[in-house]
Amino acid sequence: MSTPRIRKGTPLLALGALGVVFGDIGTSPLYALRATLQFAGGEQTAEAHVMGALSLMVWAVVIIIGIKYIALLMRADNGGEGGLLALLALAAPDEDETPRRGGGVLLWIALIGAALLYGDGIITPAISVLSSMGGLVPPEAKTQPHWILVASAFIVLGIFVMQRFGSGVLGWLLGPLMLGWFILIAVLGLQQIIKAPAVLEAISPLYAVSLIAASPMTAFLMLGGVVLCVTGGEALYADMGHFGRRAITLAWWIVVCPSLLLAYFGQGAAVLISAEAAGNPFFALAPGAMRVPMVVIATLAAIIASQAIISGVFSMTRQLMQRGLLPALRVVHTSDVEGQIYLPGINLLMAIACILIVLLFGSAESLAAAYGLAVTGVMVLTTILFGVVASRRWKWSWWYLGPLLVVLLSIELALLGSNILKIPSGGWVPLLVAALVLMIVAVWKKGMYLINRGRLEDGLPLERFVESLDADEVVRCPGTGVFFGRDRGITPVTIRKLQRHVPVLPETIVIVHLHASRVPRVPHQHRLRLKSNEQGVWTAEVRFGYLQKADLPSIMRDAAERGVPADPKVTTFWVRRDQVAIATDHRGMARWRVAIFAYLLRNATVLPDLLDLPPRRTVEIGMRAPL
C-alpha cells in the first residue's frame, strides 16, 4: 500500500486534519483500553487478557481504520465528499435512489447509518471530556465530585460555541496542538514499553486468537471496549471533504497510527508492571507529578477530538438537505474549502443534547455503555454500501471482493453483537436519536413528495402559457416580475396563481432557475444565461458557487444590460411559500405526521432569506397543499 504523492499544500492540510479529522480517534487512548479490560471482569489484569486485549485493539485499528477507511473507502468520494450518502450516490443508479412504497433498500441503508451518526455525534464530546476530567479523581476515590460534572458540562458547551469559527480555522489553530498530543502519548507509551518490552509481542494476532479460544464469552464482551479504539472511522470518512484524501492519508500513516499503537502498548505495559494501573491505564503512563498537567492536556485534546464528529455531522446534514431529505437550514461557509461549513441550527441542537447526556450519565464509565452501538452499526452499513460500489462502479471481481467483505463484516458484526448487549445500560441513547432523525427524514420526504406531486399535476408547459398570453386578453402592468421556477419548461405556480386571482401580470416576466455549482465562485460572465420566449417572458439560468450568494438584484441589473427591459427600481420578486392544509380524508399522511411536517416547513429557511431579497420588493404567495 503506497502513500499518495504529496501535492502542494498537502502537509499543511495534513496538519489541519490532525486538529479536526483525527481528534476523535486520537483521544481514544483516554478510555479504550480501560473499558476493554473492565469487560474482562475480575481477570482484567491477567497477562493473557491484557495481551489479548492489545492484540484485538491493534488489529482492529489496522484493519478497520488503516485498510477499510484509509485505503479503500476514501477512494469512494462523490465530488470530494465522503460519508454514507456519498457512497449511496456512487452505489445506486437513479432508479434505485428513488424509493418506491416507502424506500429503496440502498437509500434506507444509508439513511439508517446517517441517523446513527447523529447519535455518535452527541456522545463523542461527552465521553471525551468526561474521560479527561476523570484524571482528577484519585484512584482510591469511590465517587466523583459534583464539580467535575459541572465543569465537564461547561467545557462541552464551549466546544459547540467554538464551531462558529469553522473547521478550517479550528484546524490550523488546533492542528499543532493535536500534533503535540500525538507526540506526547507516543513518548509516554514508549517509556513504558522500554520497561516491559515483551508487551510488543501482542502485535501478533495469535494472542487475540488464544484469548478467543480460551475464554470466548470474555473475549466477546471485551469487544464492546475494543470498538472504542476505532470510533473515529466514520467521522474520518465523512470529513474527507474538509481536507481531502491525500492530507488525511499522510497524517494517518506518519503521525496518528504510530502514536496510537505506541500509546496502547505503553498502557498495556503499565498494567503488566502494576495491576493498579488497570483502573486508569492512560494516566498511569505519566508520573504522579504530571497528573494535573496531563489532565489539562487531555482536556484540550478532548475538545479537539469533538471537532471530527461534529464536522462529520455538519457534512452529513448538508448532504441530506441537498437530496431533499431534510428541510433547508442555514449553512455558513467558513473558508474557501467547500467542505468547511457550519450549521448554527444543528450545532445548537447537538449542544443541548450533549450537555443533557453529560448530566444524565455523569461519568465516562457509565457513558461507555452507550458508546459503540452507533459506531458499529454505521460500520456494517458502510461496508455493505462499499461492496455495492466496488461491484457496480469499480467492477471488482467477486473472487477477491467477496473474501474482503467476509473478513470486514465478520469483524464488524462481532463488534456490533457485543455492543447490542449494552442497550439496556445506555445503548438505547444512540438508537433513540437515530429513530428521531429517521422519523423527521421520513415525514419531510413524504410531505414534500405530496406537495410536489400536486404541483406537477397542476403544471402548465411554458410554451402553452406564452401562447395564452397572445390569445387571451391578459392585463399587463408596467414593471418587471421575477418568478422562481423549479422545473424547466413548466410555468411557475406563482404566475398562474397571480393570473387567476388578480388577474394582472407584469409587462416583463423573468422566470429564474437557480443552480448551485460545486466550484467556489462562478465567473461573472458565466453566471447568467438568458432566453427570450416572446410576449415579454424571459427565462434566466443563474449559476453561483458555493461561496457565493445568488444576488438577484445584481443579476437583474446584468440582465437589463443584456436586453431584458427590467428597471431595478420597479422589479418585484414573487416567491412561493408552501403551507399545509390538513386533508379531511387523510389519504396522504396521518394527522400527527402532518403536524410535524407543518412545523418543519414553518421553520425551514425560506428563499428570501437564502437569497437576501429586498424585503420591500418581495411578495410571498402562500400555497396551501392538502396532505
CATH number at residue 315: 1.20.1740.10
Same domain, 471 and 419: no
Are 601 and 579 in contact, with CB atoms under 8 Å apart?
A: yes
Same domain, 408 and 518: no
Residue 371 to residue 227: CA distance in whole angstroms: 9
CA atoms 283, 284, 286, 290: torsion sign? positive
- Residue 50 is part of which domain span? 10-136+144-426
pLDDT score at 148: 81
Eight-state DSSP code of residue 100: S
Residue 428 to residue 417: CA distance in whole angstroms: 14
pLDDT score at 256: 93
Same domain, 410 and 477: no
Same domain, 122 and 248: yes
C-alpha 453: how far from chain center:
30
The x, y and z cell numbers of residue 510, run together, are: 423573468
* C-alpha radius of gyration, the chain, whole number: 28
pLDDT score at 141: 58
Which run of H or E residues covers position 161? helix 146-162
Phi-psi bin for 374: left (phi > 0), alpha (psi -120 to 50), beta?
A: alpha
Phi-psi bin for 615: left (phi > 0), alpha (psi -120 to 50), beta?
A: alpha
Which amino acid belongs to residue 560? A
Same domain, 370 and 474: no
Same domain, 422 and 528: no
Same domain, 202 and 260: yes
Three-state DSSP state, 481: strand
* Burial (Cβ within 10 Å: 0-12, 13-18, ≥19) of residue 626: middle
Residue 205 belongs to a domain: yes
Same domain, 467 and 377: no
pLDDT score at 299: 79
Same domain, 68 and 212: yes
User: Per-block average pLDDT, block size 10, for the chain (627 residues)?
Assistant: 43 76 82 84 74 94 93 82 78 50 70 86 83 69 74 87 67 75 92 93 92 89 88 78 82 93 94 84 78 79 74 79 80 64 86 90 75 85 91 89 93 91 84 91 86 67 81 78 84 83 85 74 82 87 72 83 81 82 62 84 77 82 71
Residue 57 belongs to a domain: yes
Residue 144 to residue 132: CA distance in whole angstroms: 13
Are 156 and 129 in contact, with CB atoms under 8 Å apart?
A: yes
Residue 435 belongs to a domain: no
CB atoms under 10 Å from CB of 228, counted, come to 26
Helices (H), 475-550: 493-501
pLDDT score at 471: 65
What is the domain count for the chain? Answer: 2
Residue 337 belongs to a domain: yes
Residue 432 belongs to a domain: no
Same domain, 288 and 164: yes
pLDDT score at 543: 86
pLDDT score at 336: 57
Q: What is the pTM of this model?
A: 0.77
- CATH number of the domain within which 473 lies: 3.40.50
Residue 162 to residue 334: CA distance in whole angstroms: 12
Are 297 and 66 in contact, with CB atoms under 8 Å apart?
A: no
Same domain, 198 and 280: yes
